[in-house]
Chains A and B, each alone.
Chain A
Amino acid sequence: MARKVPLPTAIPKKKKFQQRDDTKNVKPPTLEEMKELRDTQNLFHSNLFKLQVKEMLEELQLKQKYTDFIENWMESFTVFTRQLKDGLMEWTHLEIPMRLSQKPTGFVFSKPNRDPYLIGAAATGTLLGPKIVVDVALEMPKEFLHKEDYLNLRYDQKRALYLTYVTERLKESPAYAQDQFYFNYYANNPLKPVLELIPVNKQVNKHLQVRVFITAPLSSFKSGRFVPWNNNIRPSYYGDEWDEEEPLPSTQHYNANVLFDLTLCENQAHLDKAFKGRRNFQDGLLLLKVWLRQRQLDIGYSGFGAHILAAFIVYLNTQRILHQSSSSYQVARTVWNQLANTDWTKGISLALVPIQTEELTKFARHYDVCFIDFTGQHNLCANIPLYLYQRVREEAKLAVELLNDMKLNSFPLIFMQKCPLYSRVDNILKISNYSCINQMLTLHSQPRFKYDFAKYGYPQLLHLITELLKKGLAERVHSIVPLETATPAWPVENKAPVIGNYIQLGLILQPEHAYEVLNKGPASNDDPEGAEEFRRFWGEKSNLRRFQDGSITEAVVWGTAKDSPAKKRLIVRQIVLHLLEHHLQLDSKEVQYIAGELDQVYQLSPWFKVDKLKTQLSLDQDTDAEALSPHVIRCYDEFARQLHGLNDLPLEIVSISGVSPIFRYCEPQPVLPQARLVENRILASTIQRVVIQLGQSGKWPTELTALRALKTAFLIEIGEKLEAQCRLHWMMSADGLLVLKQGYCFVIELAHNKELALLKQEVTDTGITTYKDNATSRSLERQHYILPKVSGALHSLHQTYSAFGSTVLLAKRWLATQLLDDGLWPDMATELLVAHLFQQRYAPQSIAAPQTGFIRFLQLIAHSDFNGELFLLNFNNSWQDQQIADLEHNYRSNRQSFPPLTVATSYDIQHAGRLWTSDQSPSQRVLGHVTRLARHGLDIVETSLMSKDLRFVRPAQLFRASNEGYDLVIQFKPDLVPNTLSYDLGSPFVSFSQPNFHLPRAGSDYIARIVGQLRSAYSDFAAFFYNPHGGKELAIVWRPPTDFAAKPFKVTELNACRPCGNRRVQVSKETLLEEFKLLLKDFYLRIATPEELKREQREHQQPKRYFNTNQTEKSRPERKVRRDRKKEALPKRRIRRSALKALIELEK
């Protein structure tokens, strides 16, 4: 498709002659070109998708040097194996990577009779970077294995010995002496040790490793020896007694484990045949592998390996569902489609000799998932638990749905986006205590599982706990997926590590049922046995209860219906911990259940005592912002009713809509009914904005000021009527009508179409009136017309996904504690990004836990390409395909005219992308800063989640900014700035001080206004950071030193400059500081560098109290900023500072 067509630069419409001339330049299309253009439409999703796939495949293409290296290496390895001689292993200085039942000495080695061969990805030509793993199989000769080696792990021990022997010879051989030798378990399976060899070759050693598998020919054992229903590990092997009468328990998983080796050769041969020379199949498989790996579904013992997908492609080909000549896109798409729509639990088979259905069913009964290989003996999916298989199917289904959505560029969602499994589960259960694990295995795991898994702990635990939780949680949980990490390799001289004594499970909840407070059992008089069973299962938690409908049944109660949502979200945790304790005697201290740890940050501050508040509402001390919003909304609803019911208004109120975040459950600071009237002024910490519209009338003036005057008059009239008819206090303000109701303060704004039109109105030179958007009209339209609609849409989004609101709360709290206020990062952008997260289908299941939502928010920020991506919110699907395509086109071709972070909703099509964010907020550098913060936060979360021993992050680790990177900190007087009502994790700069919760006057956010002033005046010289949730410090970062260098005199560039001799001028920091002080008069306590504050904090570990601020004020003059000391401290600063600086420079 490299054909370049000379395109007519523009298609003229004016003159016919010219058009003729131009069209002559169009080359007649060749048949090929026509075909290719059409093929793209049919075979691929779209041009764009095809090209993206092509680019990615090119990127993944293995470099020639690697293919050459593999070829050479295989040659030399073949030579090496040919030289091997039969012999007796007397002594080895390597550790055998398996526990043996007898001493390794006296082991007789017989040389392989077959050359080693490539298996897996290297053989099918689908090796995938960045760590290229070349799998090589070496076959033990048939004679080496004896007839009775099938029994009691003898085969596996011999295999391990064989591996050790070969390794030792390899190590001795001069050709390999320099290489690094490691052992590892294949797929976390202790019965499958493999040799990992990192060749010393300079060109490849960074990215390439060879894995040597030891296999055996299929004919080594009698066929039928390893059918799933046979027993090959006797109970007596573990010293257990077994009743002679009973049939021996089947060891299907162990059998499959051996068959994996035995069938490897034959399976590989068939795969080779199917893939050899078929680039389309290979590419298709590569695509699928990328998809699988991004989802982390292929890790560990229970992982869904890529070899299964390879076999499935062949299966589909033999079933004639996939044609030989399908494109790679079609291969991937068909595989997803078939994965989603077939059920492997009943079993599917690749066997060359067709298997009868009954036999297949019999076979499949022994496993969760069954996919029989070419030989008809081995189950490729033997170790895959049902939940994981379902997960793969759901992901496949999602992939197909994304592909079908023509409005979407689905490529990055499918292939590029990392979606680690931990971010797709709502709660995580971690058990890592060694003694607990042992106790569970010995006391609670059934013996037959012990034999089946050859005493490997992990699958036994997985089975035990999954079954228990499945039964206990029933419909509360959608699925329970194992979260595994790959075992790290160990040097061959070291002892093999014991694995499997640790388990981590992820729970995906079913939000409709997960938070029910009641588990109802069977009625005791109808079904006494069932009731008994229920009682036994739940233990003493179960009680006989009588319900309102008259039934008397056994039931377990986990909470009350009135509990706060945050509390209800922990019900599953309660259940899991109870079940583990009741059934497995696991104390709740021994396990880690990760759910709702971060919810604390929007709780009410413990320093604020609720019982001192005079209110009719019943409030708990441990309430939170989420639980408090419904009270406000209820009050607002009543207020809206009162407004509608007002008599004798000249015009009727036709619509009332709340636009403050609290009306869509997005207010991160708790709002308590505290507002009150003192000395004829309303005091309130927050005011809730309400926009009303009046009925039509033709009598409104056509002059802006007159219109505004009438609006004000109208609002005063409403206030008077409210006072007379509903006895509410009111006050007129520049923002609108302030009304006090039940301890909440509302401000009513009046929206009028004409005001908007008058703001837009312009008269051109020719006397024609046009209406053009400008900054003022846009902000008015946003506030009065678009925000109410978006607010409604977000409110309904919260009704659908109950985790939406609290996810926003977490995200907003996080940004605030990183010292980013509305001026640097708009609050609406946060809300819309989270909404995007919930609306766009990134995962098969919607998020049920806010904590997971928050992690995904961090991921979104950390990994999005803000330069290339446009965040579209298609509320109610009201946006047409064409409109989206146009907008995207416009966005791509004219990127500069859009803000760095572009968010658009379907309610603001005409302003698309420019309404919610601007070039200044978030600016390019703030966006970069937030991206880096998110990456850092995500790192902390990920390490703590995936580590065996670490506990989950404490909120203080994430929700407190670093104190590094700032040049100066201006401390406010603590008694002038009220504390936040949210749970405060402390300031990064100063130690804890006595909180104050005094109420400011309604609508007077002085600090925000002053910071606004500082930003508008001094942004060219410094950046200002503060925590909008009650932050008592203002952190300052100067612009890079180049901005403060001396420059020649220029009339237009004199701001804040003073002459510095030699006819040059210079910006002076000292003068700027004096000006900051002047503007912050009465508010600022002192100015210091973060280092000084840190030192002080260390000196006074005791909490500092500011009861007598006058005294501290007196000592102030000595505390001047010392420039010299600051300069000394400069080199010590760490990365963050330089990063911030680098960014500022970058932007320049």
Chain B
Amino acid sequence: MVELEGYVVVPLRTSPQAQHCPSVYMREHFIRLMDPNKPKGRTLFLINVPPYVTEDSLRMVFGRAGSIEAVEFAAKPGKEETIKWYKGTGEPFSTTKPPFIFKVAYIVFEKSSSIGKALAMQSIDLFNSSGECIIKTGMELWHEEYESNYILDARKTKLQISKYMAGYDKRERAAAEAAKTGEADADGWVTVGKEGRNAGFEQKASVIGRLEEKVAKGNKTKELKNFYTFQIRESKMQNIVEMRKKFEEDKHKIKLLKQSRRFKPF
């Protein structure tokens, strides 16, 4: 067994005969600010997990070391990286998938004793007892992907939609209800809806922008621009400055062009 900078390095085998295997680096997950989802003492941290490895396959492999609470991936170690990794995925009717890249994995065991067992593993074997790879790739994967994810069965989809929409309607109604009552919640906050007597204006950037513009416009109409001599003088000066600026800018452009040797016609 190789150890490097506190990491245990094990080969990840996809078949019993595999020779050139990717190396996975693992250790117990430990950082100063622990994430509550990756509890101290029960979480195994893996680096250099190849892109094709799935949560399920890791669950299967490390299941041998003890029962597993969760397996999570991230693009790199760090706070909120896991959330970023899973953002937008798993929602119905969306095709967003986590990226297909090398990643890190967190395996949360139920018992802390499992960690030691996992670290003692000689290799991560991604094949079953008969030597077949448990990761689906190639034609098998794509065929399955096509059949189950690309083609949607109309009847089933319709059922799913009606179920989802029923849930959505319920949520919406509840929200509308909450807005109408206008009662403060435990923290003292009142939900203000679009309707009702004390409805607030929409907190949108465009709406706010429009309001601010209106104020600015009002101010502007009151201002006299071309009234005093000094204003006229200044505007003239401004004009010259602009002209000079333009000239300098053009000169700069030319300098850039010159660097790329764009003036030799032949």
Partner of B257, one of A23, A52, A1070: A52
Measured between C-beta atoms, what is the minimum distance from A3 to chain B in Å? 9
Residue pair B20, A55 in contact (C-beta under 8 Å): no
Partner of B151, one of A56, A733, A1074: A733
Q: Which of A436-444, A950-958, A1047-1055 touches B?
A: A1047-1055
Measured between C-beta atoms, what is the minimum distance from B233 to chain A in Å? 9
Answer whether residue B92 sits at the interface, using C-beta atoms and an 8 A cutoff.
Answer: yes
Using Cβ atoms and an 8 Å threshold, which residues of chain A touch B237? 23, 26
Answer whether residue B229 sits at the interface, using C-beta atoms and an 8 A cutoff.
Answer: no
Measured between C-beta atoms, what is the minimum distance from A471 to chain B in Å? 39
Measured between C-beta atoms, what is the minimum distance from A687 to chain B in Å? 12
Q: A770-B205, A867-B260, A1017-B100 are in contact. Are A1004 and B94 (CB under 8 A)?
A: no
Using Cβ atoms and an 8 Å threshold, which residues of chain B touch A712? 93, 152, 157, 161
Task: Count CB-based A-B contacts (< 8 Å).
Answer: 224
Residue pair B5, A709 in contact (C-beta under 8 Å): no
Residue pair A47, B247 in contact (C-beta under 8 Å): yes
Partner of A130, one of B165, B204, B206, B266: B266
CB-defined interface of A753-776 with B at 8 Å, one 1/0 digit per residue? 000000000001001111100001
List CB contacts (< 8 Å) of B212-266 with chain A. 234, 237-238, 240-241, 243-251, 253-254, 256-258, 260, 262-266
Partner of B244, one of A5, A732, A769: A5
- Size range of the interface on A? 35 or more
Answer whether residue A322 sits at the interface, using C-beta atoms and an 8 A cutoff.
Answer: no
Partner of B266, one of A129, A1074, A1075: A129
CA–CA, A711 and B161, complex, Å? 10
Residue pair B150, A1058 in contact (C-beta under 8 Å): no
Partner of B262, one of A708, A868, A1006: A868
Residue pair B150, A56 in contact (C-beta under 8 Å): no
CA–CA, A98 and B161, complex, Å? 92
Using Cβ atoms and an 8 Å threshold, which residues of chain B touch A130? 266
Residue pair A734, B149 in contact (C-beta under 8 Å): yes
CB-defined interface of A701-716 with B at 8 Å, one 1/0 digit per residue? 1011110111111001
Residue pair A770, B204 in contact (C-beta under 8 Å): yes
Answer whether residue B9 sits at the interface, using C-beta atoms and an 8 A cutoff.
Answer: yes
Closest residue of chain A to B258 (Cβ to Cβ) is A55
Measured between C-beta atoms, what is the minimum distance from B10 to chain A in Å? 11
Closest residue of chain A to B88 (Cβ to Cβ) is A776
Using Cβ atoms and an 8 Å threshold, which residues of chain A touch B165? 701, 706, 709-710, 713
Residue pair B138, A7 in contact (C-beta under 8 Å): no
CA–CA, A46 and B139, complex, Å? 62
Answer whether residue A420 sits at the interface, using C-beta atoms and an 8 A cutoff.
Answer: no
- Size range of the interface on B? 35 or more
Closest residue of chain B to A759 (Cβ to Cβ) is B88
Query: Chain B interface secondary structure, helix, strand, loop or mixed?
Result: mixed
Closest residue of chain B to A128 (Cβ to Cβ) is B266
Q: Which of B35-43, B46-54, B61-69, B116-124 touches A?
A: B46-54
Q: A771-B205, A1003-B150, A1079-B137 are in contact. Are A1052 and B262 (CB under 8 A)?
A: no
CB-defined interface of B1-24 with A at 8 Å, one 1/0 digit per residue? 010110001000010001111110
CA–CA, A1096 and B138, complex, Å? 27
Using Cβ atoms and an 8 Å threshold, which residues of chain A touch B14? 1074, 1078
Q: A710-B161, A768-B205, A1078-B137 are in contact. Are A1073 and B263 (CB under 8 A)?
A: no
Answer whether residue B208 sits at the interface, using C-beta atoms and an 8 A cutoff.
Answer: yes
Using Cβ atoms and an 8 Å threshold, which residues of chain B touch A48? 250, 253-254
List CB contacts (< 8 Å) of A1009-1040 with chain B. 1009-1010, 1013, 1016-1017
Residue pair B265, A735 in contact (C-beta under 8 Å): no
Using Cβ atoms and an 8 Å threshold, which residues of chain B touch A1056? 22, 48, 50, 102
Using Cβ atoms and an 8 Å threshold, which residues of chain A touch B102? 1017, 1055-1056
CA–CA, A658 and B242, complex, Å? 47
List CB contacts (< 8 Å) of A1052-1074 with chain B. 1052, 1054-1059, 1063, 1065, 1068, 1070-1071, 1073-1074
Partner of A1079, one of B5, B52, B164, B172: B52
Partner of B140, one of A719, A1049, A1074, A1082: A1082
Closest residue of chain B to A717 (Cβ to Cβ) is B158
Using Cβ atoms and an 8 Å threshold, which residues of chain B touch A40? 247
Measured between C-beta atoms, what is the minimum distance from A703 to chain B in Å? 6
Using Cβ atoms and an 8 Å threshold, which residues of chain B touch A1004? 142, 146, 150
Residue pair B245, A734 in contact (C-beta under 8 Å): no
Residue pair B149, A1057 in contact (C-beta under 8 Å): no
Residue pair B20, A709 in contact (C-beta under 8 Å): no
Using Cβ atoms and an 8 Å threshold, which residues of chain B touch A29? 240
CA–CA, A976 and B140, complex, Å? 13
Measured between C-beta atoms, what is the minimum distance from A1109 to chain B in Å? 14
Answer whether residue A946 sits at the interface, using C-beta atoms and an 8 A cutoff.
Answer: no
Answer whether residue A778 sits at the interface, using C-beta atoms and an 8 A cutoff.
Answer: no
Using Cβ atoms and an 8 Å threshold, which residues of chain B touch A56? 263, 265
CA–CA, A259 and B70, complex, Å? 98
CA–CA, A11 and B202, complex, Å? 35
CA–CA, A416 and B250, complex, Å? 18
Residue pair A713, B161 in contact (C-beta under 8 Å): yes
Closest residue of chain B to A732 (Cβ to Cβ) is B152
Partner of B137, one of A706, A868, A1081: A1081
Using Cβ atoms and an 8 Å threshold, which residues of chain B touch A567? none
CB-defined interface of A1065-1098 with B at 8 Å, one 1/0 digit per residue? 1001011011100111111000000000000000
CA–CA, A1027 and B236, complex, Å? 62
CB-defined interface of B134-149 with A at 8 Å, one 1/0 digit per residue? 0101111010001001
Answer whether residue A561 sits at the interface, using C-beta atoms and an 8 A cutoff.
Answer: no
Answer whether residue B91 sits at the interface, using C-beta atoms and an 8 A cutoff.
Answer: yes
Using Cβ atoms and an 8 Å threshold, which residues of chain B touch A1083? 138-139
A-B contact pairs, 15 of them (CB 8 A): A40-B247, A47-B250, A712-B152, A716-B154, A734-B95, A1001-B146, A1003-B150, A1004-B142, A1010-B142, A1013-B51, A1054-B25, A1065-B4, A1068-B20, A1071-B20, A1079-B138
Given A34-B240, A709-B161, A1049-B4, 11 other A-B contacts at CB below 8 A? A5-B244, A5-B248, A23-B234, A58-B263, A294-B265, A709-B165, A732-B151, A770-B204, A1016-B100, A1057-B48, A1082-B139
Q: Which 8 A-B pairs have the closest CB atoms?
A: A1081-B138, A1082-B139, A1082-B138, A708-B93, A770-B205, A1070-B20, A1055-B102, A47-B250
